[in-house]
């Protein structure tokens, strides 16, 4: 019993330190994000982005969109990409060995023909069966690559091998990209002079329940489905607070696979996307950062807070759980692969702050929380809980979580103001109130499952179910 | 003793509990305040946006009336001057200036100075906040407010890139004598962002500047910019002077020089650069390959020799394209395709 009491007191101290550090870091992030957003607003007013459009000085950019069994939406998605505002643009669609008629549909719709198109397998990818270009000269910027199935990372690598630009924008073919996305993402690459910009990320928002027209979001709406609404709030919080703060600290470890622009020579030198991981987006950025630090080259990873990508999030618990499980495995894999960066000052803010944060508050957080709950139950059974203390502490944690979410909603309302109706704000605030009670425990559980699956060696992506934008109410 | 220590523990526990409880209450208050603030702001935000739109529309209409009427000096200006909301008027004038040209824009400018609205520009230029100064510089350019030049010159090498670029464009656009003098005063790197915006401004000018003058500047960014401007504007210059750039230590400048030779059809210097392909970096080799199509009478033997020696696929592709363009014989295409197939 005495032994149990010792563990209990040790655990109490550990939990207090952990919770205190977490709360403090969230508080700092929230404040830093506010400052960073304000700075961005000032900077974005200057200059003329339209001047970049036709400038001879502007670099060529390739958009790489991997497609696997996208027969239902491939035509609409390619059409959406063709409307992107940028002159020196190349669009590479990589058909990753689809089993349906994705390629045939694209060939038929865009009048494609197989062409002779030399390239090098500079970074590892599965064999490319053919490269297609349109007979229509107006679609000259479109390139369709047909390759053997190898997964998303492999398809992106194939795209990088084929493209002939200095920069590429990686995206999910089923996401909706803002027409000005390339222009806005390229801005940091054009501006920075003393450091090399190796990657730029942007905000991803939830497109569920939004009205879609011509491959773009024409009217924003808070998701009607509760699970999607939880994720909408989570995305606002993660992108507007988390990513903006990490950008300011220069410790950003993740650029979403749904949208991001990268420097091609650096990606090639790093060996491209890692095929054996399910968190290829995070792993690539960490590897790029590691490479630049080891070569002692000054560099920067930037982040644009503009919502440039709209994605459809899972609306069923099963699919959502699978997605979160995969994200957890991806995080663990990246942290394991780059463990030498942990608290290593050689890697600057990434090694000393970014990596430890991801380790303790992303990977280990579900484990801490889960064991905490188990321990709490054990203490309750042995009558060792001071209920007044415990209840007040729980109230504090709950209130703190809601405050951070409210702050994120406040930042959104002050900056991009995408949710413009009072009912939208009301709905998001209500979601913030119930999120810690319903959604958060589930994310803890999925995190635990991810940990178990990772230790068991599970490396699959898990089946993805998407309704697709074309099935919803669309206006053409 | 034991009683005392247990009392202390109990007291400290109750203190912690009260602190945590207070924090929880404070957070509750914050949440309620944020919620109320957001909902109220949302309501007023819409109202305010509608009000701004209405006011701006009103002033736009008033200004257009004024511009269309002949007795603007008397009645309409008096009406406009009588209004207390000059800030809206200022915004409307700037807005209209962006949307009109020719005779109308001259009239808007007259009206702007008659109403004494330039004081808003000066106020912005005197601000201590860089983004307000940048805004003032933009407005000064729009209204061709030449008195803004001394303010702009202060910021041409500022630490804030955005302000720096705005100041550089403003000096270029508003200074009547030596508008490009500032290029020799730049110590900071000359970003692509700045080059794009400066070239955009130059493109608007009827009489183009002699960019060869800027080649003497130490800043490599300015030299690259000069070469591109000269190339785009087809400005030829002394061969002896410019041939030194072929051996410049910076690959970016050598690459830009090759592009300039191609754009100005300077076959002699282009060939001089191309001949030393073996000693060149891939970046420059690729540029030579890309520009090979732009010139005539490129010796085919050199291209084939280079093609066989070349290791970089992107350069090989460019050379293949050049060979295809310079000779359409079937044999050459077969050689070229066979060689390329070994690459891919």
* Cβ atoms within 10 Å of B187's Cβ, excluding its own: 7
C-alpha B184/C-alpha B12 separation (Å) is: 69
Which tokens go with B4?
Answer: 């005392």
Query: Which of A453, A249, A196 is closest to A358 using CA atoms?
Result: A249
CB-CB neighbors (< 8 A) of A425 in chain B? 38-39, 42
Mean pLDDT confidence for B235-263? 91
pLDDT in tens, B217-226: 999 999 999 9
Nearest residue of B to residue A48, measured between CA atoms: B197
Chain A residues within 8 A of B316 when measuring between CB atoms: 118
Radius of gyration of chain B (CA): 32
Structure tokens at A55: 């400038």
Q: What residue spans of B207-281 are helical by DSSP H?
A: 220-232, 239-243, 251-263, 267-275
Which residues of B are less than 8 Å from A47 in CB distance? 162, 165-166, 193, 197
Of B31, B46, B317, the CB nearest to A406: B31
How far apart CA A362 and CA A370 sit, in angstroms, is 13
Closest residue to A409, CB basis, from B38, B45, B200: B38
- What distance in Å separates the CA atoms of residue A178 and residue A185, rounded to the nearest whole number? 11
Backbone conformation region of residue A123, classed left if phi is above 0, alpha if psi is from -120 to 50, else beta: beta
pLDDT of residue A474: 36
Q: What is the pLDDT of residue A420?
A: 81
Select the residue of B16, B28, B134 nearest A399 (Cβ to Cβ): B28
For testing the chain B interface, which of A9, A26, A46 should be mutated: the one with the most B CBs within 10 Å?
A46
If one compares B298 and B39, the residue with the highest pLDDT of the two is: B298
All residues of chain A having their beta carbon less than 8 Å from the beta carbon of residue B35 are 406, 429
Neighbours of A306 (CB within 10 A): 17
Task: Annotate A144-212 with DSSP letters as a single string.
Answer: EEEE----HHHHHHHHHHH--SSEEEEE-TTSEE-TTHHHHHHHHHHH--SSEEEEEEEEEEE-TT-EE
Distance (Å) of CA A245 to CA A360, A399, A433, B187? 17, 21, 23, 31
pLDDT for res B222:
94
Q: For residue A40, give the chain B residue with the closest CA.
A: B131
Rounded distance, CA A133 to CA A117, Å? 9
pLDDT on residue A68:
93
Cross-chain Cβ contact A395/B24 below 8 Å = yes
d(C-alpha A316, C-alpha A226), whole Å: 10
Q: Tell if the CB–CB gap between B344 and A119 is shorter than 8 Å.
A: yes
Average pLDDT estimate for B178-198: 90
Q: What is the pLDDT of residues A371-384, one digit of tens each?
A: 988 988 888 888 88
Chain A, nearest residue to B30 by Cα: A403
How would you list the strands of the sheet with A61-67, edge to edge?
Answer: A112-115, A128-134, A142-147, A89-96, A61-67, A167-171, A259-263, A196-206, A299-311, A176-177
Measured between beta carbons, the chain A residues lying within 8 angstroms of B165 are 46-47
Residue B199 to residue A56, Cβ atoms within 8 A: yes
% pLDDT > 90, chain B: 39
Exposure b/e, A371-404, CB count within 10 A at least 16 = b: ebeeeeeebeeeeebeeeeeebbebbbbbbbbbb
Residue B307 pLDDT exceeds 70:
yes
β-bridge partners, A259: A171
Q: pLDDT tens, B66-95?
A: 777 765 555 566 566 655 577 788 888 888
Nearest 5°: phi and psi at B80? -65, -40
pLDDT value at position A473? 39
Q: Which residues of A touch B28 (CB under 8 A)?
A: 399
β-pairing, A216-219 vs A211-213, is antiparallel
Over 70: is that where the pLDDT of B343 sits? no
In angstroms, rounded to a whole number, what is the distance separating the alpha carbons of residues A38 and B39?
21
pLDDT value for B238: 83
| A49-322+471-475: CATH, from 1.50.10.10, 3.40.47.10, 3.40.190.10, 3.90.550.10 | 3.90.550.10
Q: How far is A166 from chain B (nearest CA, A)?
A: 11
Q: Check A46 against B131: CB less than 8 A apart.
A: yes
Beta bridge partners of A132: A114, A144
Task: List pLDDT tens digits, range B120-146.
Answer: 999 999 999 999 999 999 999 999 999
For CATH 3.90.550.10, the residue range(s) in chain A are: 49-322+471-475
Residue B77 has a pLDDT of 60
d(CA A416, CA A51): 23
User: Are the C-beta atoms of A444 and A323 separated by less than 8 Å?
Assistant: no
Quick one: tokens of A246?
């990490």
Provide the sign of the torsion angle of the four alpha carbons A85, A87, A88, A92, taken in this order: positive
Minimal CA separation from B82 to chain A, in Å: 31
Instruction: Select from A56, A129, A387, A421 the residue whose CB has the most chain B CBs within 10 Å, as the one to mutate to test that interface.
Output: A56
Which chain B residues contact residue A190 at CB under 8 A? 191-193, 196
- Cα separation, B97 vs B112, in Å, equals 10
The minimal CB distance from B314 to the residues A55, A164, A389 is found for A164
pLDDT tens, position by position, B270-293? 999 999 999 999 989 999 999 998
**Contact criterion met (CB < 8 Å) for A396 and B166:** no
User: B34 vs A426: CB contact, 8 Å cut-off?
Assistant: no
How long, in residues, is chain A?
476
B contacts of A413 (beta carbons < 8 Å): 38, 41-42, 45
CA dist., res. B93 & res. B115, Å (int): 11
CB contact under 8 A, B200 and A406: no
How would residue B253 be classed by pLDDT, with cut points 50, 70 and 90? very high
Given a contact cutoff of 8 angstroms between Cβ atoms, the answer to whether A49 and A187 are in contact is yes
Give the residues of chain A that fall short of pLDDT 70. 1, 4, 462-476
* Interchain CB distance below 8 Å, A58 and B196: yes
Residue B291 to chain A, least CA–CA distance (Å)? 15
Residue closest to B162 by CA, chosen among A277, A350, A41, A81? A41
Q: Which two tokens stand for residue B172?
A: 């270029």
pLDDT at B214 over 80: yes
Residues of A in contact with B221 (CB under 8 A): 193
B20 to A389: CB separation less than 8 angstroms, yes or no? yes
């Amino acid at each position: 019993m005495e032994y149990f009491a010792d563990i209990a007191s040790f655990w109490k101290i550990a939990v207090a330190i952990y919770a205190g550090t977490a709360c403090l870091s969230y508080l700092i992030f929230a404040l830093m994000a506010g400052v960073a957003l304000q700075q961005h607003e000032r900077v974005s007013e200057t200059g003329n982005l339209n001047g970049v459009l036709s400038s001879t000085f502007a670099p060529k950019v390739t958009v790489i969109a991997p497609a696997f069994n996208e027969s239902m939406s491939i035509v609409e998605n390619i059409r959406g990409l063709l409307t992107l505002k940028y002159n020196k643009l190349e669009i590479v669609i990589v058909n990753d060995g689809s089993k349906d008629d994705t390629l045939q549909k694209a060939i038929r719709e865009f009048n494609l023909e197989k062409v002779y198109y030399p390239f090098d397998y500079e970074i590892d990818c599965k064999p490319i069966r053919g490269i297609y270009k349109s007979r229509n000269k107006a679609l000259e910027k479109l390139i369709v690559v047909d390759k053997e199935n190898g997964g998303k990372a492999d398809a992106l690598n194939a795209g990088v091998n084929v493209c002939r630009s200095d920069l590429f924008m990686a995206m999910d073919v089923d996401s909706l990209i803002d027409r000005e996305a390339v222009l806005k993402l390229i801005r940091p690459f054009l501006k920075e002079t003393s450091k090399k910009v190796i990657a730029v990320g942007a905000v991803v928002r939830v497109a569920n329940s939004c009205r879609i027209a011509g491959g773009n979001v024409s009217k924003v709406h808070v998701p009607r489905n509760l699970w999607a609404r939880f994720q909408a709030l989570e995305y606002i919080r993660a992108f507007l607070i988390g990513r903006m703060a990490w950008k300011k600290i220069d410790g950003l470890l993740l650029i979403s696979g749904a949208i991001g622009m990268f420097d091609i020579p650096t990606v090639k030198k790093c060996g491209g996307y890692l095929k054996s991981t399910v968190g290829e987006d995070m792993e690539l950025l960490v590897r790029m950062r590691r490479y630049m630090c080891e070569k002692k080259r000054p560099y920067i990873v930037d982040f644009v807070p503009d919502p440039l990508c709209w994605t459809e999030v899972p609306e069923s618990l099963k699919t959502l759980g699978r997605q979160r499980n995969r994200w957890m495995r991806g995080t663990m894999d990246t942290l394991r692969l780059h463990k030498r960066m942990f608290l290593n000052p050689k890697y600057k803010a990434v090694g000393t702050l970014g990596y430890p944060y991801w380790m303790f508050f992303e990977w280990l957080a579900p484990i801490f929380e889960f064991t905490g709950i188990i321990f709490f139950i054990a203490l309750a059974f042995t009558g060792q809980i001071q209920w007044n203390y415990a209840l007040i502490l729980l109230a504090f944690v709950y209130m703190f979580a809601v405050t951070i979410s409210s702050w994120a909603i406040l930042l959104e309302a002050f900056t991009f103001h995408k949710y413009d109706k009072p009912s939208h704000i009301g709905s998001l605030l209500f979601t913030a109130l119930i999120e810690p009670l319903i959604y958060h425990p589930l994310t803890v559980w999925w995190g635990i499952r991810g940990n178990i699956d990772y230790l068991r060696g599970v490396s699959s992506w898990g089946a993805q179910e998407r309704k697709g934008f074309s099935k919803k109410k669309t206006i053409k | 003793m034991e009683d005392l220590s247990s009392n202390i523990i109990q007291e400290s526990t109750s203190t912690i509990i009260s602190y945590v409880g207070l924090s929880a209450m404070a957070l509750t208050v914050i949440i309620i305040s944020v919620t109320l603030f957001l909902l109220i702001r949302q309501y007023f935000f819409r109202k305010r946006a509608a009000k701004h739109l209405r006011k701006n529309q009103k002033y736009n209409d008033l200004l257009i009336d004024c511009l269309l009427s002949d007795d603007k000096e008397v009645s309409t200006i008096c009406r406009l001057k009588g209004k207390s909301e000059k800030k809206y008027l200022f915004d409307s004038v700037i807005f209209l200036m962006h949307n009109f040209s020719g005779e109308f824009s001259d009239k808007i400018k007259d009206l702007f100075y008659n109403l004494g609205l330039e004081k808003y520009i000066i106020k912005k230029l005197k601000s201590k906040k860089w983004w307000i100064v940048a805004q003032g510089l933009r407005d000064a350019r729009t209204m061709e407010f030449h008195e803004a030049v001394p303010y702009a010159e202060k910021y041409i090498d500022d630490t804030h890139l955005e302000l720096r670029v705005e100041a550089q464009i403003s000096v270029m656009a508003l200074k009547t004598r030596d508008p490009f003098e500032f290029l020799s005063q730049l110590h900071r790197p000359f970003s692509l962002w700045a080059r794009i915006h400066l070239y955009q401004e130059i493109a608007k000018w009827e009489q183009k500047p002699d960019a060869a003058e800027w080649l003497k500047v130490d800043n490599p960014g300015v030299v690259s910019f000069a070469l591109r401007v000269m190339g785009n504007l087809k400005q030829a210059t002394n061969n002896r002077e410019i041939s030194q750039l072929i051996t410049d230590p910076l690959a970016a400048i050598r690459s830009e020089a090759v592009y300039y030779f191609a754009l100005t059809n300077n076959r002699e210097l282009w060939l001089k650069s191309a001949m030393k392909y073996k000693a060149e970096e891939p970046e420059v080799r690729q540029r030579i390959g890309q520009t090979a199509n732009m010139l005539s009478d490129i010796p085919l033997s050199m291209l084939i020799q280079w093609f066989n020696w070349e290791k970089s696929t992107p350069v090989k592709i460019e050379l293949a394209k050049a060979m295809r363009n310079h000779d359409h014989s079937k044999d050459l295409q077969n050689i070229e395709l066979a060689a390329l197939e070994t690459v891919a």
